[in-house]
Amino acid sequence: MSTLAVVGTQWGDEGKGKITDYLAENAEYVVRYQGGANAGHTVEIGKEVIALHLLPSGILRPNVINVIGNGVVLDLEALMKEVDMVRSTGRSVDGLRISDRANLVMRYHKLMDGMEERLRGAKGVGTTGRGIGPCYSDKIARNGIRMCDLLDRQALEERLDLLYPIKEKMLASMGVEGLPGKHELLDQLVEYGEIFGPYVCDTSVLINDAIRSGKRVMFEGAQGTMLDIDHGTYPYVTSSSCVTGGICTGAGVGPSSIQEIIGVVKAYTTRVGAGPFPTELRDSIGEQLLVKGGEYGATTGRARRCGWLDLVIVNYAVRLNSISSLAVTKLDVLNGMGPPKVAVAYDIDGERVKDFPASLNRLARARPIYEELEGWEDWAEGQAGDIASKGRGALPKGMRKYLDFISIQTGVPVSIIGIGRERHETIDLRSEASRS
């Protein structure tokens, strides 16, 4: 397949960073199409642990073109830091391309994000504070500043003349301080325009040309299906289209351009921030998942809420994204934990429900209907790579049954199995199948 999409099936943090980094080995183009610096993809390469927020994960591989598409909201301050961090590891960012249509996260968006969260008080969304919601709101309200504006000082000045007084008044009326002066903002934006200008182009043309000439293009999703603005647990969601539909608008390609779609499923469920989570475990098992899985946010460092695998949501994601196969990650975290449970439906007011409900009140009454599966033993520290090199057959019996159960319940094959943090602790059944 020359085009491939990787999307999260849960509330983000499914281990997409590891899977996209792994798949980027065979990609010539890696494209981010939504979200912004709220995303956190952690990649481990030997002793290196690299957290990416805005840069596509192909940036860690040589000779890959890494595209930040028009659907991303771009925080240039954050991008600058990340580019410096990647360069400090001895890697180049020459393959970076930035859409001329990407909307920019401004300082005032971050101030407004913080202010809105404070005003929502106990009912806050638990945002990452990266200005994502206010920036997407401005984009939709036609009050955004785009990357192409930075390359034209006069156009930028006109845009700021219009928008700055509005933002200044809004923030002042709410008593929010910290907004830089208009000229300071302008100078900083012009400087960023000079730094990043050489990387800016019409990325839709770039990607479509690449696809037409048979190049291998990977679309890298950020966050996950349950955080999607339309399909997630609204309003406890992010502000972008995390589902594969977002690829079309966020990268500027048509639907038939997406051939293979891999949904990433963590072997259990986590979420950060507020909102419904039917299989959440507020007990010692949840605590064990948190500690063993190292479930702390890559962007904010917050502890993630943990629970059993919920196939109601994975099935929902399979439907919404047209997922062709699943990458199941972090199975090793369940090693030696005893029999794992998996939710296959919810009981809501005595009714067995398999389609994820929209209403938060109904969700609050949802009791997971679990199936308990066979547990499996732990393996000795450092053995994952050796086991992975031997293939699926070398996995413990309970783990294989767990994978079969997921596949049967979702009607989708498992194509990639993650049993450790590192690149080589991965079993790729697509290559096993092509070898046999």
- Positive or negative: CA dihedral 423, 426, 430, 435: positive
Structure tokens at 156: 């930028």
Closest distance between ligand IMP and the C-beta of residue 102, in Å? Answer: 16
SS3 372: strand
The active-site residue out of 13, 21, 113, 149 is 13
- CB burial of 124-144 (b: ≥16 within 10 Å; e: otherwise) equals ebebbebbbbbbbebbeeebb
**What are the helix (H) ranges across 121-231?**
132-140, 147-150, 153-173, 182-196, 203-212
Comparing CB distances to ligand IMP, the nearer of 122 and 380 is: 122
Closest distance between ligand IMP and the C-beta of residue 112, in Å? Answer: 11
SS3 355: coil
Please say if 231 is a catalytic residue.
no
Q: Which residues contact 327 (CB under 8 A, 6 or more apart)?
A: 6, 15, 19, 262, 263, 264, 265, 414, 415, 416, 417, 418
Structure tokens at 350: 């005595």
Contact 432, 392 (CB under 8 A): yes
H or E element at residue 328 = strand 325-329
Closest distance between ligand IMP and the C-beta of residue 368, in Å? Answer: 21
Q: For strands 3-8 and 217-220, give the pairing.
A: parallel
Q: Which residues bind ligand IMP (CB under 6 A)?
A: 11-13, 38-40, 125-128, 130, 132-133, 222-223, 227, 236, 238-239, 272-273
Structure tokens at 319: 């439907």
Structure tokens at 197: 């200008």
Q: For strands 341-348 and 65-68, give the pairing.
A: unpaired
Q: How far apart are CA 358 and CA 65, in angstroms?
A: 39
Closest distance between ligand IMP and the C-beta of residue 283, in Å? Answer: 22
Tokens 């840069």, residue located: 55
The active-site residue out of 41, 53, 109, 231 is 41
CA gyration radius for the chain?
A: 22
Closest distance between ligand IMP and the C-beta of residue 308, in Å? Answer: 18
Comparing CB distances to ligand IMP, the nearer of 293 and 396 is: 293
Comparing CB distances to ligand IMP, the nearer of 75 and 332 is: 75
Please say if 428 is a catalytic residue.
no
Closest distance between ligand IMP and the C-beta of residue 215, in Å? Answer: 27
Comparing CB distances to ligand IMP, the nearer of 234 and 339 is: 234
Comparing CB distances to ligand IMP, the nearer of 11 and 199 is: 11
Structure tokens at 20: 């996209």
Contact 30, 48 (CB under 8 A): no
Comparing CB distances to ligand IMP, the nearer of 73 and 186 is: 73
Comparing CB distances to ligand IMP, the nearer of 240 and 410 is: 240
Closest distance between ligand IMP and the C-beta of residue 224, in Å? Answer: 7
Q: How far apart are CA 6 and CA 243, in angstroms?
A: 10
Q: Which single residue brings its beta carbon nearest to ligand IMP?
A: 273
Tokens 């190292």, residue located: 294
Closest distance between ligand IMP and the C-beta of residue 48, in Å? Answer: 20
Comparing CB distances to ligand IMP, the nearer of 71 and 396 is: 71
Residue in 222, 73, 77 with CA at minimum distance from that of residue 139: 73
The set of catalytic residues is: 13, 41
